[in-house]
Structures are given as structure tokens and as C-alpha cells.
Structure 1
Amino acid sequence: MSLDMTLNGARVLTPEGWDSCAVPVSGGLIADCAVGRAVDLSGYDLLPGLVDAHGDGFERHMAPRRGALRERDAGMLAVAAELAACGITTAVIAQFWSWEGGLRGPDFAREVFESVDVMRGSVPVDMRLQLRLETHFLDEFAAAEAAIARFGIRYVVFNDHLPHARLAEGRKPPRLTGQALKSRRNPEDYFRLLLDLHARGPEVGPAVEALCARLVAQGVTLGSHDDQTEADRSVWRARGARVSEFPETLEAAQAARDGGDFTVLGAPNVVRGASHAGNASAQDLIAAGLCDALASDYHYPSPARAAWRCVELGLLDVAGAWALVSSGPARLLGLTDRGVIAPGQRADLVVMERDSRRIVATLAGGQVAWMSGPVAGRFVG
């Protein structure tokens, strides 16, 4: 149930910077005048709820030990709690539809999509879906498109994880045996599968372009993953994919900016100070003005930490840094009703301890999604 209340005394982050304004909440939205009971948040900071444009940290909850346990709905419920504890009020659950099998295969994808479908309306956090489609998985395009329609998926990203250079030479890629066993396949059968998928390269372009055209006509947001060159970005832009997720080079990120596309970078990259895969540093790209959104990627606590890291490093001021985890990703997703604290917007709010920057309460759509510690007394007292 959405609460009617007026939050007073907090330092409030607006697009222009810190303010001392009261924040009324009514009917799940931020109101334009005082309503309900007053809640004194003196000494705390109040910031817009985080919008996470890409995260797959849910896997550890739904499949905590490979082959031993599957926790579908209970796992997704735990995901919602973790998201709220990390201040994330809108979360894009990024799930593969891939030849890689296991947690990246279509069967697991359907479990993820169904569990999010079940959770909708029963948890305050707004959980949305992204389908990550492998470009060479041609025989599964029709099934993927059916899943997009069935589950109302509004964000599709294209990946290509085939080791083409090795396959073109007829050589087995590194770690093939482990990957095969992880997907419960015989290593030799797995190698033959990779060779067959690689050989279908000439079919990929036309098939992808046809699918993109159909999805764009339906208003689905499209993106590409791991762009490396200006040419990569140009190809995907021509197909209607206007989001560049985790570009691997400065060249690709600059091409996205020059073409008016959105760029998503990994928050863990910012926190660590470098890409774990040796790609372009997110800190450097942010300093160059080449980032629209920071995403959790594989670690839900990272977006809030990354925003503050940008401030500590002098890359951005507080309003600019927080925009990368709130209004920026909201715009990317076409969500005009969230991302800033302003009348008429969704009451997606994060209450934070000023000194420790620890998130102590999260409101999503005006509902309490997470609360911990002494701040609870301010709301119930």
C-alpha cells in the first residue's frame, strides 16, 4: 500500500543539486503540497531511486548452486529484497537466450521471465525484462520472438559470444571443456556446435535485420553489446539498436555519442577502477562525457557506490553522478515518470545516512521496499 506522508528535514538531491525542500508522497507519486503525516528525516539525505538498466545478479538467487538447487519464485523474491536494499527501485533483469545453455539457455530464460511475471504487483520494486539474444542462435529466433511477445519484453540486446577467430582456424577455444560441462554437453559435441554456428555467419546479418525491423515497429528498445569499433556501432544503429551496452573501446563509445545513441557502462568497472576483462575504463569514458547510464551488470550494490566514486574522483558533481544511476537510465528506457524528485514523478526514493552513505530506506512507488536501523522510528513514531 502506498503511503501518504510528507518527508521533511532531509537534504534532498534535485537535478540542480542539494535542496532542503519537503517531499510529499501521495498515491505512489510525489505530490506538490504537504499531505498525510509528517516524517522528520533531519540528518539524512534523500535521493531519487536507482534505475538499473542491466543486471544479472539475480542468477545467484535462482540457481545458488549449479545442478543442485533451483529457486524460481522464492529466488526472485530474494532478488527484489536485494534490489531494494541497494536502492534500486526499477530493475532490468537481463537474461540470455543463448546457445551456451545452462543459465544462459532458453529453458532457464523462460523460468526467469515467468518468475518476474509472478512477482509483478506483489513487490514494490519495478522489475522489467531484457532478453539478450545471441546473434548466431538462428534456429531459436522464432522462439525468442514469441517469448518477447508473451512476456511483454520491451528491451532486447544482441550479443555474439562465439570465439570466431579460433573457430575460423578450426581450433578449440580456451576453457571449452569447462564450458561444455557447465552446459551439460559432451565437449566434442559442444565444439561441433560452435563450428556449426560459426559457419552460419552469412545468414546472421539478414536474419538479425529482419528481426530488428519487426521489434522496432513494436516499439521495443534495442541495443548491442560489447561494441569495439565505430563500424560496429554504425551497423547496429542502422538496424535500430540505439543503445550501446558496455562498449569495449573509446572509439566505440565516441561513435555512440556522435550518433546520438545511449551508452551504458558497468558500475563495477567504476568501483574497481578498471574493466575485469581489460577493456576501456569506465572512469575514463565518464571523464570524457561518454556515459548515459551506469548499470549493476553482475553486482547490485555497485551503482550507488559507483556514483559516489565518480564524485570522490572529481569526475562529476553529485547531481551529475547520481543522474547516471537514475534519470539517465530512465531516459534510456523511455521512462519519463521517474529518475528525479519532482511533483508528478513516481515516489521512488532512497534515504541515505549522510556520513556513511549507507542506504537505510527505499521507497518504490510510495511503498516501503526496504528499511533498516534507527530510521524506521522516524516513519512509525
Structure 2
Amino acid sequence: MTQLPPLRLTGADILRDGEMQRRSLAVENGRIARGPLPPVDMTGYLILPGIVDLHGQAFERQIAPRPGTLLPVETALRATAREAAAHGVTTAYIAQRWGWEGGIASPDFAENVLQGVSDVAVAALIDMRAQLRLDTHTADSQQRLLHAIRRHGVDLVVFHDTLGASGQWSEDPALQARTLGVPLAAFEAARTTAKGQSRLVPRHLCQLAEAFDTLGVTYGSHGDMDGETRDRYRLLGAYVAECPADPRAAAVAHATDGPVILPAPALIQDDPRQWAMLRRGLCDILVSDCHYPSLAHAAWSLVDTGQMDLPRAWSMISATPAHLMGMHDRGRLDHRARADFVVMNATTREIELTVSAGRLAYLSGEAGARLMASLSEARIAAE
């Protein structure tokens, strides 16, 4: 990674204090700074806070590009970091399943991914962290789970009931087994074992909630099918509603001050249910889910359809998720904040620069050429 020298980006429209402002942005020692630093002209560009993505599953395509093919975890995560940076993500939560299904959703595989994130994060282009999507019917691995969370510093977990009302794998177990990379017989046996834990689930979740509160883990639920399900999780302390499957669940979350997270790709695909929740004001945060380019694209879709202005739309992928996770040093371009930002072509809306903690994570286009020319001139002058 290349640490930027002290510099000041000028001529751009910058998102600051909830509005677009024509002003300069100074960067020094990985932080937003002040002062008369060497200028770099960014006329014709927008400078926006780096994207904070709380739920990214695109790495699964890098690990398992097709059924039956598994590539090294670290190689996949490094490629994922580069892909995320290219689309403006400066803080990326890798969403890994911890479930009963086996294969790439098993505790064994989850531990490999958590270790991979820990290893790759040391030298990654961006800030990489892990989120766990925890199947509720995993009481038999509770202590193993808590050990993994402590060891790897996992600070975001969502509960997901794949055997209750959602029952999402029951319709085509053969397809799911093939996707996970496990024999159908093994998948069905695991499902039977998981169903046998049903009576243990309520106590299991209560114990986890108590442990998460102690550990400072933010937790919620994934894919709630109705308002009653969301309310049950809320009573546990799981306030975050991630990708609710029904507007009633999102409505209950908002009525009880719980943030609602929706997948950005669904908006790009014009999913009517997701758009209905958004138009009703039942969405606080957008996540990449399986597709990093959708984050910026979705923000602009909200602008182009008249739902909200750019500062508010962009806050759904920057300031608001950062606030939820207590990351008060990012998601905004304030003095002394972490220098996480993107430089976007105002005409094409293409991201041409991504900077994470003052380090170059992605560089392209005219903005990249201007930056490199300025740095070359500074080196020649210094010599």
C-alpha cells in the first residue's frame, strides 16, 4: 500500500456536514487535516466518504467460483479486498455463515475464513472485518462459536433461522447441497440433526445474547419473515434487522428503534418489495450482499428516482453503518477523521480513486493520472 504524502485535493464537490460543498480536502498522516498543503486539482470530481459495508458475500464467488471448486481462502480474500476497493469500499465486513448445513457453511469452514480475514487484514488494501450469519439451530457448537468470536474479534453477528418459518433450504435440498459442496445424504442427515435441536434454540439464543452483550458484539437477525419474528429477536436484544423478507418485519424494527439493512443489489434489480420498504422509510443502511458495484449504484438510484438527495443516500452506505458499529472515526470527512474517501467522476459517476486510512487502495482514470502527476512533480521538486 502507498501512504499518501501530505496533500490537499482542490476544486471538487465534497460531502461534508450533510451537504455537498465546493472546498478542499487535506490529508496528512492518514487523517483528514487542515492547512496549506500541496494542492492536487480535482475539478470535475466528487469526493465522498469511503463506503462502510456491513454484509458482503461476494467473496464466496472467489472461494467457490463453481460447485465442487474450492480455492484457497487467503487468495480469495485478497482478491475480494481489491474488488471492494475498486468500488469504493474502505471498511468491508466479510459475511460468513456458521450453520448446520456443512461445506462452506460449516463451523470448520467459518473458522478458516475468520483466520483468513485476520491474516489478510494485516496488509489488506482496506479495513477488513468479519460478520457471522449464525444459524439458530447450532446449539451444539455454542462454545466453539464464542471462542472463535473472542479469538478473531468478531463484532457483528446476525441470527438466521433456516429451519423455522423461513425454511429456505427445504424446497430444493439437492441444489443447496450442491452449492455447499456436500453430498445430498450428508446434507439431509445434518438437517435432521439440526431439527433435533429445536427445543434448545430459545435458551441457546438467550445465552448468546448475554455473551454478546458482555463482549460488545452488535447483533441482529437476518431474513425475518414477519413482524412477530422480528419482535422475538428484539426481545433478545437483537435490534438489527438485516435483509428482512417482509415489510412487516421492517416496520416492527423501525417502531422499536432498530436499524433496517437492505441489500443494494435488490434495488438495482428493481425488487418491488425492497423498493416498497425503502419508499416507506423502512431502510437505514444498504449493504453489498453479493455485489460490491451495487452500493454506489443504489445510492445514485435513490437520487435519480427522487427518493433523496446524494448526501442522504450516501450516508446509507457510509455514515449510518459506521455509526451503528461505533466507528466514529469514519463515514464522514471531518477534521481528524480517518482519511477514508472516494474520488468519483461527477459526469460518469465512476470511482477513480479509493483511499483508506490515507493509503491508496485503488487508482484509475483521469483522477489517478492527476494524482500521480502531482506526486511526481513533488518528488522532482524535492530532489
Q: TM-score, normalised by structure 1?
A: 0.92
> Residue 88 of structure 1 corresponds to which residue in structure 2?
89
Query: Does residue 38 in structure 1 map to residue 30 in structure 2?
Result: no
> Residue 364 of structure 2 corresponds to which residue in structure 1?
372
> Residue 180 of structure 1 corresponds to which residue in structure 2?
177
Structure 1 residue 268: deviation in Å?
Answer: 0.5
Structure 1 residue 334: deviation in Å?
Answer: 1.4
- Specify the code of the residue in structure 2 equivalent to 1:353: N
Q: Does the 8 Å contact 1:257/1:263 carry over to 2?
A: yes
In structure 1, how many angstroms separate the alpha carbons of the residues matched to 2:76 and 2:204?
Answer: 35
Output aligned runs, 1:45-60, within 5 Å: 45-60=46-61
> Residue 350 of structure 2 corresponds to which residue in structure 1?
358
In structure 1, how many angstroms separate the alpha carbons of the residues matched to 2:167 and 2:202?
Answer: 21
In structure 1, how many angstroms separate the alpha carbons of the residues matched to 2:314 and 2:177?
Answer: 41
Question: Structure 1, residues 24-65: CA drift from partner, whole Å, max 9, x if none?
Answer: 001111013333x21110111111111101111011112334
In structure 2, how many angstroms separate the alpha carbons of the residues matched to 1:272 and 1:92?
Answer: 23
Output aligned runs, 1:1-381, within 5 Å: 1-3=2-4, 4-35=6-37, 37-162=38-163, 173-274=170-271, 280-281=273-274, 283-381=275-373
- Specify the code of the residue in structure 1 equivalent to 2:19: G
Structure 1 residue 166: deviation in Å?
Answer: 7.8
Structure 1 residue 179: deviation in Å?
Answer: 2.6
- Specify the code of the residue in structure 2 equivalent to 1:144: L
In structure 1, how many angstroms separate the alpha carbons of the residues matched to 2:323 and 2:137?
Answer: 30
Q: Does the 8 Å contact 1:136/1:204 carry over to 2?
A: yes
- Specify the code of the residue in structure 1 equivalent to 2:31: L
Question: Structure 1, residues 331-363: CA drift from partner, whole Å, max 9, x if none?
Answer: 121111111111121111111111110111100
In structure 2, how many angstroms separate the alpha carbons of the residues matched to 1:341 and 1:319?
Answer: 12
In structure 2, how many angstroms separate the alpha carbons of the residues matched to 1:183 and 1:377?
Answer: 43
Which range moved further: 304-313 or 103-112?
A: 103-112
Distance 1:208 1:313, change over 3 A: same
Runs (5+) with no aligned partner, structure 1: none
Distance 1:101 1:369, change over 3 A: same
Question: Structure 1, residues 73-97: CA drift from partner, whole Å, max 9, x if none?
Answer: 2221111110110000011111001
Q: Does the 8 Å contact 2:67/2:181 carry over to 1?
A: no
Q: Does the 8 Å contact 1:265/1:295 carry over to 2?
A: yes
Structure 1 residue 252: deviation in Å?
Answer: 1.0
Distance 1:292 1:34, change over 3 A: farther
Distance 1:65 1:161, change over 3 A: same
In structure 1, how many angstroms separate the alpha carbons of the residues matched to 2:165 and 2:235?
Answer: 23
In structure 1, how many angstroms separate the alpha carbons of the residues matched to 2:167 and 2:239?
Answer: 30
Q: Does the 8 Å contact 2:7/2:39 carry over to 1?
A: yes
Structure 1 residue 190: deviation in Å?
Answer: 3.0
Distance 1:163 1:289, change over 3 A: closer
In structure 1, how many angstroms separate the alpha carbons of the residues matched to 2:32 and 2:93?
Answer: 23
**Which secondary structure state, in structure 2, belongs to the residue aligned with residue 241 of structure 1?**
coil
- Specify the code of the residue in structure 2 equivalent to 1:341: L
Among all aligned residue pairs of Structure 1 and Structure 2, give the percentage whose two residues are the same amino acid.
37
Cα-Cα RMSD: 1.9
In structure 1, how many angstroms separate the alpha carbons of the residues matched to 2:371 and 2:153?
Answer: 36
Structure 1 residue 164: deviation in Å?
Answer: 5.9
Structure 1 residue 104: deviation in Å?
Answer: 1.2
In structure 1, how many angstroms separate the alpha carbons of the residues matched to 2:105 and 2:183?
Answer: 17
Q: Does the 8 Å contact 2:138/2:197 carry over to 1?
A: no
Which range moved further: 230-239 or 125-134?
A: 230-239
Q: TM-score, normalised by structure 2?
A: 0.92
Distance 1:163 1:242, change over 3 A: closer
**Which secondary structure state, in structure 1, belongs to the residue aligned with residue 3 of structure 2?**
coil
Structure 1 residue 325: deviation in Å?
Answer: 0.7
In structure 2, how many angstroms separate the alpha carbons of the residues matched to 1:22 and 1:109?
Answer: 43
In structure 1, how many angstroms separate the alpha carbons of the residues matched to 2:223 and 2:194?
Answer: 19
- Specify the code of the residue in structure 1 equivalent to 2:176: Q
**Which secondary structure state, in structure 2, belongs to the residue aligned with residue 77 of structure 1?**
helix
Structure 1 residue 223: deviation in Å?
Answer: 1.1
Runs (5+) with no aligned partner, structure 2: 374-383
Q: Does the 8 Å contact 2:165/2:225 carry over to 1?
A: no
Q: Does the 8 Å contact 1:63/1:69 carry over to 2?
A: yes
**Which secondary structure state, in structure 2, belongs to the residue aligned with residue 260 of structure 1?**
coil
**Which secondary structure state, in structure 1, belongs to the residue aligned with residue 93 of structure 2?**
strand
In structure 1, how many angstroms separate the alpha carbons of the residues matched to 2:186 and 2:357?
Answer: 49
In structure 2, how many angstroms separate the alpha carbons of the residues matched to 1:17 and 1:165?
Answer: 41
In structure 1, how many angstroms separate the alpha carbons of the residues matched to 2:308 and 2:29?
Answer: 34
